[in-house]
């Protein structure tokens, strides 16, 4: 197994394309976007079925890459999160095929 960093960003759906642009520009080789069902943050509960516009839906963006790639993405993602609702975490993971990440 090879060690890489796994970036997990829970962010509002409308801002997800912006996050994906940043991830691509940082040289990360791929990402996956998953829908989030419901949650609670600050003083507000949210759920996918309470917003007809789906504009306040949340998604999870997951990407895996090298330390340099993830650090490069983090700077811009921090700027993005200054404007948009979201939670970012990074952790070490083991990957089988290092040439892919």
Partner 1 sequence: MDIAVATLLSPIVLFFLLGLAAALLKSQMTIPEAFAKGLAIYLMMSIGLKGGVAISKGGLGWDAGLVMLSAVTLSFLLPVIAYSLLRLTTRLSEVDAAATSAHYGSISIVTFVAAGHAIGAAGLDSSGYLVAVAALMEVPAIISALIIAHRQRQAAEAIAGSDRGELIREVLLNASVVVLLGSLLIGWVSGETGMKAIAPFFVDPFQGVLCLFLLDMGLSAGRGLRNGWRQLGVGTIAFGVYMPLVSAALAASVAWLNAMAPGDAALLITLAASASYIAVPAAMRLALPKAKPSIYLTLSLGITFPFNLILGLPLYIWLARAVSTGTV
Binding site for partner 1 (CB under 8 A): 12, 14-15, 17-22, 25, 43-56, 76-77, 79-80, 83-85
Q: Where are the alpha helices (DSSP H) in the chain?
A: 16-25, 67-81
Q: Judged by CB, which is closer to partner 1: 18, or 95?
A: 18
Q: Judged by CB, which is closer to partner 1: 6, or 48?
A: 48
In the complex, what is the shortest distance from the CB of residue 64 to partner 1, in angstroms, rounded to a whole number?
A: 19
Query: Tokens in use for 30?
Result: 């791929």
69: how many CB neighbours lie within 10 A of its CB? Answer: 20
In the complex, what is the shortest distance from the CB of residue 68 to partner 1, in angstroms, rounded to a whole number?
A: 19
Eight-state DSSP code of residue 80: H
In the complex, what is the shortest distance from the CB of residue 97 to partner 1, in angstroms, rounded to a whole number?
A: 28
- List beta partners, residue 64: 6
Q: How far is CA 14 from CA 21, 29, 55, 100, in A?
A: 13, 22, 6, 28
Q: Judged by CB, which is closer to partner 1: 14, or 95?
A: 14
Q: Judged by CB, which is closer to partner 1: 82, or 96?
A: 82
């Amino acid at each position: 197994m090879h060690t890489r960093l796994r970036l997990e960003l829970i962010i509002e759906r409308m801002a997800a394309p912006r996050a994906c642009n940043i991830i691509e520009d940082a040289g990360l080789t791929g990402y996956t976007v998953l829908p989030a069902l419901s949650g609670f943050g600050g003083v507000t509960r949210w759920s996918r079925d309470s917003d007809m516009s789906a504009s306040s839906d949340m998604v999870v963006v997951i990407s895996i890459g090298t330390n340099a790639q993830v650090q490069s993405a983090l700077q811009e993602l921090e700027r993005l999160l200054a404007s948009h609702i979201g939670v970012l975490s990074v952790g070490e993971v083991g990957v089988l095929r290092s040439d892919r990440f």
